[in-house]
Structure 1
């Protein structure tokens, strides 16, 4: 299978329009169409359906798209590795980072450590849903993923690296909810509107399950995946959210929010580092994984106690 045609196919799917994809690839529309047709002949199935507004991906096309991303990443990794010298570790290392977690806050420190210690390692950081990232590891789209614990997944090695209690996060502009320090009940919290990720996300599932168990309703007023949008919406007072304190430090400045423990409900989960079970990590990926574990180990613990430096109704860096 021609990897160049796979790359063209991925670009068309990403853009959703052959004409615009051809422009971005600096080739003619007819040439790109011929490459897609040749790829469809290779796999003996239709991958795209042309519509008046662009293209829609068929079911086989979605399957090929997932595998193509892994194939193209491996090709890029091989090129970087082969062109590097033998004296220092080199290669492409791709890491998936869970949204609504402490993982994005480790991105810059990890990048700094890699640049300082292993300048020939090319680091690629991707943020997405846990359910997507666990599958991405299996498909070879990423080398490893730091995500909310997915439980047992066949083909994955899941190493729990940190536990955290979720906290209620509200804007500092809103009146305090608690009169007894930094704790609120689920009933008090149920009066709020929540900004959360979609229903597949671990944070959403754990939050709604806790309210349901207490016989309460969790009112979700908006679904937001992007960290910057979440920050701006919560700070503006458009809704509350639920995060571990380590994640709150990543998204918010100390004076922007109030953070509350749940007095009558334990909303807890674990962060896990997921790697393939069968395919061993490359030398470069293994080195980066060790750096990532070191960064996580140096994070303040959150399991079953208040973190050092966290005052009532405030989050400090």
Structure 2
């Protein structure tokens, strides 16, 4: 097993095709196939199943894929670490952001990155907090911002910002906006539009409601926060969001928010990195930039 075999294997797995991978790698397809067959011989497992559209990973292939991505990421980090000067980190860093944060921070982080780290490359991916945690632990993302992550041995977690949750309603034109706090006990009177249970905000809300003895009135389940806000504005119900979630919406001016109290559920935005990898100089600088920008978000 060698790095070239792992690189070829990962490329075929990601593209789902030997021919597409050969083009991307700029190698002849027979040579690519030989390297993958040699890898299968080495691990004594079939890694791909052929289908009408190309190839798909077997169960063994899926397990090896996660290991391969982590190995290649470590090699890349080692090269970047050794090649970086003290004053100007080089290489490539990938950050993961929740969609509500991504809409507010992508442009500022790229502006700062361009100014302060011109010799480095940045990739930004968006996903639910649970997905970003998985990407960090498998090495696909170097550093992420996530809401309310659960503690686990493979994760370094640094809390950055606490945001109180509020009941978000449509503020009809000409009507008085309600801004007085809303006791949690009254939340059951409002039909709610909430994300699915894999969403960190949904889990937090259900936990806090259960502790307060409140039965939530779930009217609709919608994964996308922008779609939830569209439904709120259309009169289908109410949402429970943070101030940054409201501020990220293009329709923020149509919304009114009432802070939940007695108790006040709080969402915590955290910086997460892998506990098993020493951060490169570039990753450390990126973490500093993300920390500074995240602490400027509306709380």
In 2, distance between residues paired with 1:223 and 1:30? 46
Q: Distance in 2 between matches of 1:140 and 1:243?
A: 30
- 1:296 matched to which residue of 2? 294
Change (3 A) 1:169 1:142: same
Structural RMSD (CA): 3.7
State the partner residue of 1:47: 47
The residue aligned with 2:115 is 116
Q: Encode CA deviations 1:175-233: one digit per residue, 9 max, x unaligned.
A: 9798674637564565424141x3222111112234445342342623324x6555555
Per the alignment, residue 91 of structure 2 pairs with 91
TM-score w.r.t. length of structure 1:
0.74
Q: C-alpha distance in 2, partners of 1:289/1:179? A: 38
- Identify the residue that residue 60 of structure 2 maps to in structure 1: 60
- In the alignment, structure 1 segments of 5+ residues that lack a partner are 303-317
Q: Within 5 A, what are the aligned runs for 1:26-175?
A: 35-52=35-52, 55-77=55-77, 88-100=88-100, 102=101, 104-172=103-171
Deviation at 1:141, TM superposition (A): 2.4
Change (3 A) 1:247 1:215: closer
Rounded to whole Å, the distance in 2 between the matches of 1:191 and 1:13 is: 47
**8 Å contact 2:22–2:32 — kept in the other structure?**
no
Instruction: Tell me whether 1:250 sits opposite 2:243 in the alignment.
Output: no
Q: Which residue of 2 aligns with 1:266?
A: 264
Equivalent residue, structure 2, for 1:315: none
2:198 equivalent in structure 1:
200
Identify unmatched segments of 5+ residues in structure 2: none
Q: Could you say if the C-alpha distance between residues 84 and 156 of structure 1 is closer, same or farther in structure 2, counting changes exceeding 3 Å?
A: closer
- Of residues 34-43 and 180-189 in structure 1, the stretch that sits farther from structure 2 once superposed is 180-189
SS at match of 2:165: strand
Seen in structure 2, the aligned counterparts of structure 1 residues 75 and 277 have a Cα distance that, compared at 3 Å, is closer
Structure 1 106/54 Cα, relative in aligned 2: closer, same or farther at 3 Å?
A: same
Deviation at 1:9, TM superposition (A): 3.8
Bigger mean CA deviation after superposition, 105-114 or 228-237? 228-237
TM-score (norm 2): 0.78
TM-superposition CA deviations, 1:121-173 (whole Å, max 9, x none): 21122222333333433333222221123242113321111111122334446
Q: Does the 8 Å CA contact 1:81/1:92 hold for their aligned counterparts?
A: no
Verify the 8 A CA contact 1:208 1:218 in the aligned structure 2.
no
